[in-house]
Amino acid sequence: MKTDSQLVLLLEELGANAWPSYIQQTIRTWRLRASFGVTKRANSVYAAGPFPDENWLALVEEFYQRRSIVPAFQVGSASPPELDSILEANGYRIEYPCFLMMALCSEIINRVRDEQRFTCTLAEEADDEWIRDFLILEDYPQEQHRGYSHIFSAIGPSKAFLRLYENDEVIGLGTAVVERSWSGLSNIIVSPRHRQKGAAAQIIRRLTRWAAGRGAERTYLQVLTDNEPALALYDKLGFTAVSQYHYRTLE
């Protein structure tokens, strides 16, 4: 699929906005992000636009070393074409290759039937219980609570944090952020005991319906290129891959 380059750049920017870091320092158009080491996206350089300074690599490495974080870059369509090879030559390895995908909100809603056996709640903020459930379902250490608490609280409006229930048990979670008529989906997670039952599709449908009610016409998400079950689901829901990006982390 041939995609307009300006659309890809917009989606990369929206994705960066939807996952704010605790500390952000800019060098021209690049964003140096740090959040207690929690998540690669919030602890890497969003390298959008031309090289900002002839000493850019030294500035980046000093920024992360001062915070005891391993230097990393998010390399995507907005990055300088030479960035990848320069980082490789300086000992940065590729990690977490991802697809950036998009779909029409109306297409998602039409393709997924509302399953009444699932119920859900939506909140404007992620409270401590939501974050605790998120860490449990993702099998992340509870010590990461502080980092995720900042990320979730710093996301700008409009946003929604969903809990999906079956028989009064929390079986899944998800997040949506609306900006400029786009809905960004993230944190789509289902308890291992309840997978392959249509729960993930219900989370996406209900978040999309919420976002459409707030003016979103299209939605996007980011997914690892080797996550075959998720890719199969997103294909069924009408998502199309529009670009790829990856991280480069200093070895």
194 beta partners: none
Q: Looking at the chain, which runs of residues are DSSP E strands?
A: 23-27, 30-34, 45-46, 72-75, 92-104, 118-123, 159-166, 169-179, 182-190, 218-224, 240-250
CATH topology assigned to domain 102-243: Aminopeptidase (3.40.630)
- According to CATH, where is 3.40.630.30 located in the chain? 102-243
Span 114-127, pLDDT tens digits: 999 999 999 999 99
Q: How far apart are CA 191 and CA 200, in angstroms?
A: 10
Span 47-99, pLDDT tens digits: 999 999 999 999 999 999 999 999 999 999 999 999 999 999 999 999 999 99
Residue 4: the pLDDT is: 85
Rounded to an integer, the average pLDDT of 143-168 is 96
Residue 1: the pLDDT is: 42
pTM for the model: 0.95
Locate 181 and state its tokens: 């008529």
Asked whether the beta carbons of 15 and 220 are under 8 A apart, the reply is yes
Span 183-205, pLDDT tens digits: 999 999 999 999 999 999 999 99
